[in-house]
Structure 1
Amino acid sequence: MRQYLPIFSLLLGSAFLLFAGGINGLILPVRGNAEGFSSVSLGLLGTGWAVGYVAGCIMVPALVARVGHIRAFGALAAIAAVSMLGSAIAVMPWAWIVLRGVCGFCFAGAAMIVESWLSEQTDPGSRGRVFGVYTMVNLGANTAGYLMLTLGDTSGFFFFALAAIFYCLALVPTALSNTSTPAPLVSVKLNMKSLWRNSPVAVFAVFWVGVSNAAFGTLAPVYAQQVGLVLTAVAVFTAVPILAGAVMQMPIGLMSDRMDRRKVLTGVAVLALAADLSFIVIAPEGRMLNLALAALLGGSIYAMYPIIVAHANDHADPGTAIQISGGLLLTYGIGSIVGPTVAGWAMTEVGIRALFLVTACAHGMVILYTLWRMAKREAVAEDEKSNFQPINAGRTSNLQTAETSQNDAPSLETDSSGT
């Protein structure tokens, strides 16, 4: 408790932020679908978020250097609240896309500030455990935000106002905290050519994982509504894949530490492809089968990113971990921009299950290219591997997460006794 009390305000602020983010991420596609927005427009919500998020990761360190952590965090949380209220006032696709991008920018910056603050406030020996608690708090708050929509009417102003309230509440704990201000945020110069030479599989795969994850994460609520699931089931359908992905990271990580990570990545991609094709071929209509397939898909797609990062670091030169993680995050972000746009267009032109045609194509590309590279390059020797670290990809990943996970997270390697 002595370790966690000094950072309680940061964890509480992050919980408020992720709770509001959960409401924000679900109310827009649900309400937009009810308002008759096209699938293209709803897909562009995810594209707008990804563009804003990538821009935030690049630009916020300079903002923090200029005005400080507390002021920057307060401004970003307030602007996120304004964007949410603006979405309630201007119920138009183009306005929502722009405001969603603004919110993505603010969310990225706020998360970077909290994570750098947490890193400074904890000693290296306990930092891995602290960030584990931080990840659980974020996951719980985000899931609670999704499920909150089951308690009221989504056709009114209430959930927009509730999300705005919690965005504002997120700045209160840090504003009143007496903890010391941390050092400036990480600013990384990326070398994408060097990253490609280091690990073509990692760069190629992380782009397509960004395509699939962002497409599914943005448009899953739209699919669930249009196949006839009630709002409660829609919220659960959105939350279950994230929870499944969190559960699967540890066993898949242990497996990837013991064999060629490319084989593990291929196997996970095959599971994801099987789930994609099941959505298309079986065309489930009932709640339970849809939730089961969503869990299989989420457990697969949300476990791929940390395998890719670990594989890239297996081939990395010493001291380049943060550059590698930064380059992979940027590539993932580019895929996240492409995925919802293409999937939204496909759902409009082909039908609602075209979402899974897009994710299936992405996973098929990962499988084919990884198998081809396995024939071209030998696996890394067991004693030369880096350690697998569970990492959240997408909406809660940035350079601060990457730096901490590379330097401070506990290893999943076993000792000589096998424990």
Structure 2
Amino acid sequence: MQQNPVIQADRNSPLVPVISLSLFAVASGFLMSLIPLALDARGMSHDLASWLASVFYAGLLGGSLISARIVGKTGHRKALVAFLISVVGTVGLMATIAEPAVWLAARFIAGVAVAGVFVVIESWLLMADTEKARAKRLGLYMASLYGGSALGQLGIGMFGTEGAMPLMVVAALFSAAMFPPLVIRKGQPQAVAHTSIHFNEMKSLPAAAYIGCIVSGLILGAIYGLLPLELEAKYSHDQVGALMAIVILGGMAVQPLVSWLNSRVEKSLLMALFCLAGLLSIAMYEIATVAAGMMAGLFILGAAAFALYPVAITLACRDLSASKIVAAAELMLLSYSVGSVIGPVIAGEAMSVEGGLMFYLVICFAATLLYMLVSTKRNRSRGANGVDAALPVDI
């Protein structure tokens, strides 16, 4: 069995990863909406947007295969700094060279580095002693990620989409995310033997966890990469930024509810309920006759879309020892990345017809709803309800 020196759940502090993640999320949220909106001003086609999204997630896929080994050799703090330096370099490259090939290469490299950031932060926070503590920390992680992402959307109105200035602001924010691990040297997980998950153990992880992560990638890849273009057809750039912020605020607002429900409701059933909410949100968006109804639909869409991943990853990690948490986080990120690579390409093709993006999201939510309901029934017939026993919260 392969072992690398990595992790101990020994009372590590969530302070560093949460502060760093918050700054990272502001920069990332700004950049994800900026990229598709900035193509015209730089003489590049809108058709490039779906490929930039897919190549980024292809890098995320590749990075998810190697990140755990890097963390094992360097430790969480040093690995986080190294990955963030790589992200800053790619943004600087995009700011100085406006060529499709350069942007595609930069986004791929950024995807590899961002995968490392996520594996470091997720595994750092998941190194808790109890299932409830993990759920609470993951809720904090998701709230920081989506709160920062929502705040980042406001950068479009503040700094615009033209010239090098918006990208330099993004690079500065990514650089600021390096300060917490550089300045605060205590609180990271201590090095112990980290055990890889072998193929037989991969098969034993719940299928619903894999499906939840893949569908999360299918949906979020399309939302991040293409929803700004869908909204741009009807609204100004400033309005697009505000509407994207509403979507992500929905994802942030739902995280306390996800954390509370995670240990009380069967996880496959919980994912089914959020998929149903996603379908209802799209109906609200499509039939809304006033702005408030449309914004409410986008808010609930964000809540439904961003709830799937934390439920799926806690399901995957539920019965694992601390030594296998990094490998599980890497595996779930790999599953998410597979969906994220495919999603923008399929959704991009769907956008060739009016309303195509929303139809794509309906298919994703509806198929997952049916699967999770079948999974729930199967679990109950086997006497496994997927609800964690009540444990004291310890963060």
Task: Tell me if both proteins adopt one fold, taking TM over 0.5 as the criterion.
Answer: yes
User: What's the TM-score once normalised by structure 1's chain length?
Assistant: 0.75
Distance in 1 between residues matched to 2:389 and 2:53, nearest whole Å: 32
Matches within 5 A, 1:56-75: 56-66=63-73, 71-75=78-82
Distance in 1 between residues matched to 2:239 and 2:389, nearest whole Å: 38
Matches within 5 A, 1:55-204: 55-66=62-73, 71-113=78-120, 136-179=143-186, 182-184=189-191, 189-191=196-198, 194-196=201-203, 198-204=205-211
Secondary structure, counterpart of 2:178 in structure 1: helix
Instruction: Report if aligned partners of 2:25, 2:145 keep a CA contact under 8 Å in 1.
Output: yes
Counterpart of 1:214? Answer: 221
Counterpart of 2:279? Answer: 273
Counterpart of 1:242? Answer: 248
Instruction: Report if aligned partners of 2:255, 2:307 keep a CA contact under 8 Å in 1.
Output: yes
Instruction: Report if aligned partners of 1:61, 1:186 keep a CA contact under 8 Å in 2.
Output: no
Q: Which of residues 337, 341, 345 is equivalent to 2:341?
A: 337
Distance in 2 between residues matched to 1:381 and 1:157, nearest whole Å: 58
Distance in 1 between residues matched to 2:75 and 2:226, nearest whole Å: 36
Counterpart of 1:3? Answer: none
Distance in 1 between residues matched to 2:275 and 2:140, nearest whole Å: 28
Secondary structure, counterpart of 1:336 in structure 2: helix
Does residue 1:308 correspond to 2:343, yes or no?
no
Instruction: Report if aligned partners of 2:64, 2:330 keep a CA contact under 8 Å in 1.
Output: no
Distance in 2 between residues matched to 1:192 and 1:276, nearest whole Å: 38
State the Cα distance separating 1:205 from its structure 2 match: 4.0
User: What's the TM-score once normalised by structure 2's chain length?
Assistant: 0.79
Counterpart of 2:371? Answer: 369
State the Cα distance separating 1:262 from its structure 2 match: 3.7
Q: Which of residues 14, 23, 26 is equivalent to 2:30?
A: 23
State the Cα distance separating 1:129 from its structure 2 match: 6.9
State the Cα distance separating 1:337 from its structure 2 match: 1.2
Counterpart of 2:49? Answer: 42
State the Cα distance separating 1:311 from its structure 2 match: 5.0
- Cα pair distance change 1:357/1:190, threshold 3 Å: farther
Of 247-256 and 237-246, the range deviating more from structure 2: 247-256
Spell out, residue by residue over 1:295-342, the C-alpha distance to the aligned partner (whole angstroms, 9 max, x if none): 12111122223333455567x577897365544332222111111111
Distance in 2 between residues matched to 1:103 and 1:387, nearest whole Å: 40
Does residue 1:350 correspond to 2:363, yes or no?
no
State the Cα distance separating 1:386 from its structure 2 match: 2.2
Identity among equivalent positions (%) equals 20
Amino acid at match of 1:238: M
Q: Which of residues 239, 254, 258 is equivalent to 1:233?
A: 239
Distance in 2 between residues matched to 1:130 and 1:309, nearest whole Å: 12
Secondary structure, counterpart of 1:302 in structure 2: helix
Distance in 1 between residues matched to 2:362 and 2:196, nearest whole Å: 33
Where structure 2 has 5 or more consecutive residues not aligned to the other structure, the ranges are 1-12
State the Cα distance separating 1:373 from its structure 2 match: 4.0
Of 265-274 and 127-136, the range deviating more from structure 2: 127-136
- Cα pair distance change 1:117/1:297, threshold 3 Å: closer
Distance in 1 between residues matched to 2:133 and 2:206, nearest whole Å: 31
Distance in 2 between residues matched to 1:99 and 1:70, nearest whole Å: 24
Counterpart of 2:388? Answer: 386
State the Cα distance separating 1:193 from its structure 2 match: 6.0
Of 50-59 and 250-259, the range deviating more from structure 2: 250-259
Spell out, residue by residue over 1:352-375, the C-alpha distance to the aligned partner (whole angstroms, 9 max, x if none): x21112211111211232344455
Instruction: Report if aligned partners of 2:264, 2:387 keep a CA contact under 8 Å in 1.
Output: no
- Cα pair distance change 1:198/1:73, threshold 3 Å: closer
State the Cα distance separating 1:285 from its structure 2 match: 8.4
Secondary structure, counterpart of 1:155 in structure 2: coil
Amino acid at match of 1:378: R
Amino acid at match of 1:300: A
- Cα pair distance change 1:379/1:147, threshold 3 Å: farther
